[in-house]
Amino acid sequence: MKKTIVTVTGIRPDFIRMSEIFKCLDDEESFEHILVHTGQHYDNLLSDVFFEDLQIRKPDYNLSIGGSGKKHYHQQADLSIKVLKLFEDENIKPDIVLFLGDSNSVLASVPIKKEGYKVGHIEAGMRSYDERMLEEINRKVCDHVSNYLFVYHDNYKNKAVKEGIAEDKIFVVGNTIVEPLRKIAYLSYNGLKSHILLDIHRPENFLYEDRLRQIVDFAKQYSKDFDSPVKMLNFKRTLSAINQWNIDLGDIEVIDLMGYKNFVKMQQDSLFIISDSGTAQEEPALLNVPVIVPRDFTERPESIQGNCSFMLKMSTDSYESSKVWLRDKPVSETEWLGDGKASEMIVSILKKVL
C-alpha cells in the first residue's frame, strides 16, 4: 500500500530547494505525493515563474494565505485552519507532512503534529541564535515538533542534539540547493562581471533607518572603489523604507525581481554580491562569486568559515577589511554544501522510516 506524503511549501527559496524533492517523490512508486502550496508568496515573480523555470508540476492545492499587508500571525492562523480543513474535506491521511526551511509556513507543523500526524523538517538544525529574526523562532519550533529532521551537515545535527533532540531522528543529507542550481547555472553563464548586486530584504535591515542608510552608503562606496555599477533588487518593503526616510540611492539602479534562471545569471555576472539573504550565502559559493553579508549574525557560519562570504559590520573598519578580502579574490570552500544528492537521500530515508 502506498504511503501518503504531503509537502507544504510557500515561498520562493523553498520552491527552489524542494524542486528536485518534489520530482523524486512523484517518481517513487511506493509514495503518493500531494503538493500543497500555502500561497504565502503569491506574486508571479515570487511563485509561478519558479514552477516554470524549475519544471515543477502544478500544486495539487493552493491555500492562498498570502496577501498585501497581512501580518505573520494572520498567515499562521489562516494556514493552520486551512491545511487541516483540507485534510478533512479531501480525506487526506498523510503518513508524513514535510516542511522545508523557516518561513511562516513551517509553523503549521504544530497543529498538524497535535492532530497526530508525523512531521518531517528539511533544512533542520540551522541556528543564528538571534531571535529578532522571525525565522529563528520558526525553525526552532518546527525542529522540536518534527519526527524526522533532515540536516545539511554535521554542524546542524550537533546543534539540534544540544537542544535535546534525539540523535536517531536526525539525518545528514547535504544541501538541497545544489541540485537545482547546477541544472541552471552551467547553461547560462557567459563570463561577464558587469555589476555589483545589492539584495536587502530582511527586517533586521530595513526596519532601522541608520542601518539601512549605512548599507546604501556602503554600496555606493563599493561602486566607486571597484568602479562597477550597483544594481539593487526591488523588494517593496525595502524600497518603501528608503523612500520614507529619503535615503539617497545615488547611481544605484533599482531592478525588478526575476525568475530563477535570470537570477542565477544575474549572480554569475556579478563582481560580488551584497546580500542579507540566507540563500545568498550558498548559491554564490557554488558559482565562485564573493558575498558581503550586512548582518550581525548568520545561521550559515560555514559560508564565512569557508571563505565564501564576509560578515560586514556597520563600521568603517569592517568596510575596509571587506575591501581587502574582496581584492584578495578569496577561493571558496564548498564541501559543506554536500555532494548534490540530497533529494535522493531524503526519499531513500523516507522509504525506510515509513
Q: Please indicate, yes or no, whether residues 342 and 309 belong to a single structural domain of this protein.
A: no
Q: Please indicate, yes or no, whether residues 149 and 54 belong to a single structural domain of this protein.
A: yes
Percent above pLDDT 70 for the chain: 95
**What value does the mean pLDDT take over residues 260-283?**
94
pLDDT at residue 134 greater than cutoff 90: no
What is the per-residue pLDDT for 39?
A: 84
- Supply 347's cell numbers: 526519499
What is the per-residue pLDDT for 67?
A: 60
Q: Please indicate, yes or no, whether residues 253 and 282 belong to a single structural domain of this protein.
A: yes
For the stretch 76-122, pLDDT in tens is 888 899 999 999 999 999 999 999 999 888 999 999 999 999 999 99
* Residue 294 DSSP class: -
**Number of structural domains the chain divides into:** 2
Q: Please indicate, yes or no, whether residues 170 and 50 belong to a single structural domain of this protein.
A: yes
Q: Please indicate, yes or no, whether residues 68 and 158 belong to a single structural domain of this protein.
A: yes
Range of the domain at 212: 183-336
Q: Please indicate, yes or no, whether residues 82 and 215 belong to a single structural domain of this protein.
A: no
**What value does the mean pLDDT take over residues 9-26?**
93
Mean pLDDT, the chain, integer: 92
What is the per-residue pLDDT for 68?
A: 61
Q: Please indicate, yes or no, whether residues 233 and 283 belong to a single structural domain of this protein.
A: yes
Q: Please indicate, yes or no, whether residues 45 and 13 belong to a single structural domain of this protein.
A: yes
Percent above pLDDT 90 for the chain: 79
CB 205 within 8 A of CB 294: yes
pLDDT at residue 187 greater than cutoff 90: no
**What value does the mean pLDDT take over residues 57-70?**
81
Q: Please indicate, yes or no, whether residues 157 and 65 belong to a single structural domain of this protein.
A: yes
- Ranges of H-type helices in the chain: 12-27, 48-53, 72-89, 109-114, 134-145, 154-162, 178-188, 203-206, 209-225, 236-244, 260-268, 283-287, 301-305, 316-327, 342-353
pLDDT at residue 268 greater than cutoff 70: yes
Q: Please indicate, yes or no, whether residues 54 and 137 belong to a single structural domain of this protein.
A: yes
For the stretch 251-267, pLDDT in tens is 999 999 998 889 999 99
What is the per-residue pLDDT for 248?
A: 98
pLDDT at residue 42 greater than cutoff 60: no
CATH of the domain at 158: 3.40.50.2000
What is the per-residue pLDDT for 325?
A: 97
What is the per-residue pLDDT for 186?
A: 66
Q: Please indicate, yes or no, whether residues 20 and 141 belong to a single structural domain of this protein.
A: yes
Active site residue 37: no
- Supply 40's cell numbers: 504565502
Q: Please indicate, yes or no, whether residues 248 and 163 belong to a single structural domain of this protein.
A: no
Q: Is this model's pTM higher than 0.85 or not?
A: yes
